[in-house]
Structure 1
Amino acid sequence: MKSVPKLIKRFVGILLLSSFLILFFNFIAVAVIGYNQTSIGSPWTIAEETSKGLSQRDNGYTLSEEVNLNLKDIGIWAILIDNDTGKVIWHTDNLPEEIPLEYSISDIATLTRGYVKAYPTFTSDYNDNLIVLGFPKTSYWKHMYNSWDYNLIANFPKIALGVILGNILVIFLIYMVANTKLLKSVNPILKAIEELPNEKDVHIKEKGVLSEIATYINSTSDILQTKNSQLKKKETARANWIAGVSHDIRTPLSMVMGYAGQLEEAEHLCEDERQKASLIRKQSQRMKNLINDLNLASKLEYNMQPVNFEKVNAIALIRQVVVDFINSDIQDKYPIEWNTEENLICCNINCDASLIKRAVTNLIQNSQNHNLKGCEIFVEVKQVNNQCIISIDDNGIGIDDEKLKKIKNTPHYMVCDNNVTHQQHGLGLLIVKQIVSSHNGSVEFNHSSFGGFSTVITLPLSE
């Protein structure tokens, strides 16, 4: 399934983004902390500035006003230790009483890297003497016995990069372990969702972090299966009812047509009575045709009509239908013009010949039924690329835009459960649509260039 790799890519992407954001956040945090730590300046720099601000005069040593104020603001005291005697020869006014005024070499070695009476100290030189600055007790923490391996410092960039990559690997492992169960739960759910549109019975285990979703999918599958079962029963019942009615009505309808035909030819009846008998016979024939159409439409709708495909020359097949109509039109009320090019003698398609003949017959009959005063009918078969195009046009009364829109967009009552009292077109056109659809073709209804109604059937050519 394509969704699983996408999901894994999404997880990995989120992981990498999370790692980058963590590193970026740590970098910002270190920068902010470092900035706050050095907001008063480096203690060694302050010691050097103190050394520069100290001057010797006849009456002793004097510290510049600027440096003196800076030290007092921070809370720093300062002393100057004589290099020869180890005694304090100068100090600031804020020197704590507990600070010694004399230091040995050992004391000086200790204070340069540590503390004096818990005050962190930093030093600078002044004319071969030693300046010592004492910072507030809680201002700095000094490592008195720190030492670093040279190779550690030399290889620090590589070590730092290795630690970062190790952190990313640990985060990745934690992330994958934490989401393994989620991925295992997602895969069957995705497969189940993929199967639902195919109307397959789906049931997945309702456990794991996505158990609630699995429950809903199983419930949905059960509902769909129940509805599909009910729908199939309903369709089967409707198809059986139509087939039963069609069968049961044939015998009485044949009797009505037979007796009406006898009365139509009875010489002892007057002309008016024979015309009435003729009307009964014609309307009975129309009812018979409607019943046959209804039965065929029902079979096509529920895939009960077998479709026997064979390689057929569409030109010969359609020409035969046209010839049959011409021969039956004794009054020449509906002349048919064959507009197929003479040099096109073969256009092979895979089809059920009887069904294609039925579709074309319905279309020609449709033109006759809607033009009682007569019209010309134009039939054309042509080959365009890998398609066979069958066109049936007439120059009759045609159809307005509103009715044409309904024919194109409004479903027939045979395939729609609502608005069954508002049939938008007859069974003839529905059967044409069903037959063409069963042959993987398409049909289009439109206004004709001859002024009437037009139907274009497109069917794939035989390979």
Structure 2
Amino acid sequence: MNSVLKLIRRFFGILVLSLVFGIVLNVGLWIAYISKNQNSILNGEKGPWSRAEMISAELQQEGENYVLSENGLQLLKEAGAWVQLIENGSGKVVWSSANLPQEIPDAYTYAEMASAVRGYVKDYPTVSVGKGADVLLIGYPKNAYWKHMSPMFDYQIIARFPTFLLLFCAGNLLFVILVYAVSVSGVLKAVKPIIEGIRQLPENHQVYVKETGLLSQIAVSINQAAGQLRSQEYVLKKKETARANWIAGVSHDIRTPLSMVMGYAGQLEEDEELSKENKRKAHVIRLQSLRMKNLINDLNLASKLEYQVQPLHSGKINAVAFLRKMAVDFLNLDGEDKYPVEWATKEQVSAVFIRGDEELLKRAVSNLICNAQVHNPKGCIITLEVKQIQEMCCLAVSDDGVGVTEEVLSAIQKKPHYMVCDSQVKEQSHGLGLLIVRQIAQAHGGRVELSHAPQGGFRAEIFLPLLPEKES
């Protein structure tokens, strides 16, 4: 909905800017037009009235005759005008220019004089100025000027004009806003389902937008995209189901012959008639078979976690007591004392509560401890620690062994595992231990961070959400 409001605000801003720009543009064009076509009026240079004043000044009386100077004749020629000097009182024309049209009278009654002074003589627009006691009448070509014959207005109209102008502008603005609101309501009605469909598309592939209205083509495209996503989702789920079923089937089919191999290998290992060398080989066969069995179990668990079919039996867990018990169990299993476990949790941290599946969390921590043992065959000190960081509980497992290079650490952090990736075949990582740890952490709403240990070895941290205080 915020996107719709933003769109409406944008449209309204464009409307206001367009109105302002339109008014400025129209005023500018009107001024430019007047400046070009009525330059003489605006500047007072050689306009019909100023030209009449100039011609009057150029008309001189010599004895009983009148003579128009060369400058005056040039002014008449430029305007295509003619001139008459009308005697005061009699209305007779005492002097006229040589280019006087034939239909122009040589004497005027008072009525004709009033009409001539006010506007036209035989359709020629005229301008009059005083020449002493007489009247100088200048006529211009018929299509040169248009004159308003009755330039009188009611005073109240002029006085109320500013108010009328404001009301006029307000009425026009209200009308434009009304038209805009009606048009936007139609656009909003068409846009809203489109935006809603686009918003839901990443979350819900069952989106359908009615293919009607102004934006019907966009609605068609959204529906097509939703259909393609549904098809892709179906194909992907089919592939995932097939892969999960294949892993489960292969694991099931291998268990029986593998159990037989392990059983027979155990019997041969205990057979007194076999030589020590053969017993050693039988022992290797049994251990490797056991390793294969564990790998198959890991493969099944990773597959279930990846496809979210592994049930979580969540309960309240004190992470400190949980990790301390894990430390004791591994110490008891280390008969050769090659992998001593150090407890690095601060004494004041006695209880940090989380909610989770205890068996899965045991599997995650066991994988990290076993990882330290596998990569340090000559032995190392394994350090376990529980700490609280903001709203997360951190279970840390580190060692002082050989560690990893920066390049290897970057590869472990960035390379996808073959179990969860269908591309980059040559760059996929193997080994299910760390993958299962990540999957278990994610299933609990947490994460895993890998780094170099302060002791120089390898460090893995499992971050899990703390149990809310009301449940602690």
- The alignment's TM-score, normalised by the length of structure 1, stands at 0.94
5 Å-filtered alignment, 1:176-195, equals: 176-195=181-200
Task: Please state how far the C-alpha of 1:301 moved relative to its aligned partner.
Answer: 0.8
Q: Which residue number in structure 1 is paired with residue 393 of structure 2?
A: 388
Which string of whole-angstrom CA distances, capped at 9 and with x for unpartnered residues, describes residues 202-222 of structure 1?
222222232221111111111
CA distance in 1: counterparts of 2:280 and 2:407, whole angstroms: 37
Three-state SS of the structure 2 residue aligned to 1:413 is coil
Deviation at 1:121, TM superposition (A): 0.9
Q: Distance in 1 between matches of 2:279 and 2:59?
A: 144
Normalised TM-score (structure 2): 0.92
Partner of 2:22: 22
Superposition pairs of residues 142-181 of structure 1, within 5 angstroms: 142-145=147-150, 147-181=152-186
Q: Select 2:304's aligned residue among 299, 324, 333.
A: 299
Q: What is the letter of the counterpart of residue 367 of structure 2?
A: N
User: Helix, strand or coil: the match of 2:355?
Assistant: strand
Which letter does structure 1 place at the counterpart of 2:148? H
Partner Cα separation in structure 2 for residue 198 and residue 15 of structure 1: 35
What letter matches 1:237 in structure 2? Answer: A
* Residues 281-430 of structure 1 mapped to structure 2, 5 A cutoff: 281-420=286-425, 422-430=427-435
After superposition, the Cα gap between the structure-2 partners of 1:235 and 1:16, relative to the gap in structure 1 and judged at 3 Å, is: same
Instruction: Give the stretch that moved more between structures: 254-263 or 320-329.
Output: 254-263
Q: Does 1:47 align with 2:52?
A: yes
Runs of 5+ consecutive residues of structure 2 not aligned to the other structure: 42-46
2: CA distance between counterparts of 1:71 and 1:316?
117
> Is there any run of 5+ residues in structure 1 with no aligned partner, and where?
none
Q: Which moved more, 1:19-28 or 1:237-246?
A: 237-246
Residues 199, 225 of structure 1: 8 Å contact kept: no
1:407–1:425: 8 Å Cα contact kept in structure 2? no
The equivalent of 1:210 in structure 2 is 215
Task: Report what 1:12 is aligned to.
Answer: 12
**Structure 2 CA distance for aligned equivalents of residues 182 and 456 of structure 1:** 53
Q: In the TM superposition, what whole-angstrom CA distance separates every residue of 1:36-95 from its partner, at most 9, and x where no partner exists?
A: 332233423333343344444434334454444233212222222122111122333332
Distance 1:56 1:421 in 2: 114
Structure 1 residue aligned with 2:94, among 89, 100, 116? 89
Greater shift after overlay, 247-256 or 96-105?
247-256
CA drift of 1:185 comes to 1.8
Does residue 3 in structure 1 map to residue 42 in structure 2? no
Q: 1:312 to 1:64 in 2, by over 3 A?
A: farther
Query: Which residue of structure 2 lines up, in the alignment, with residue 60 of structure 1?
Result: 65
CA RMSD of aligned residues (A): 2.0
Matched, 1:252 2:239: no
Cα contact 2:415–2:427 (8 A) shared by 1:
no
After TM superposition, give the deviation of residue 312 of structure 1 in Å. 1.4
User: How far 1:182 moved relative to its partner?
Assistant: 3.1
State yes or no: 1:140 paired with 2:145: yes
Code of the residue aligned with 2:13 in structure 1: it is G
Partner SS for 2:88: coil
Query: What letter is aligned with 1:11?
Result: F
2:251, 2:426 → 1: CA distance? 21
Are the equivalent residues in 2 in contact too, given 1:380–1:392 (CA < 8 A)?
yes
When structure 1 is superposed on structure 2, of 281-290 and 246-255 the one drifting more is: 246-255
Q: Please identify, of 53-62 and 405-414, the stretch whose mean Cα deviation from structure 2 is larger.
A: 53-62
Does structure 2 retain, via aligned residues, the 8 Å contact 1:122–1:132? yes
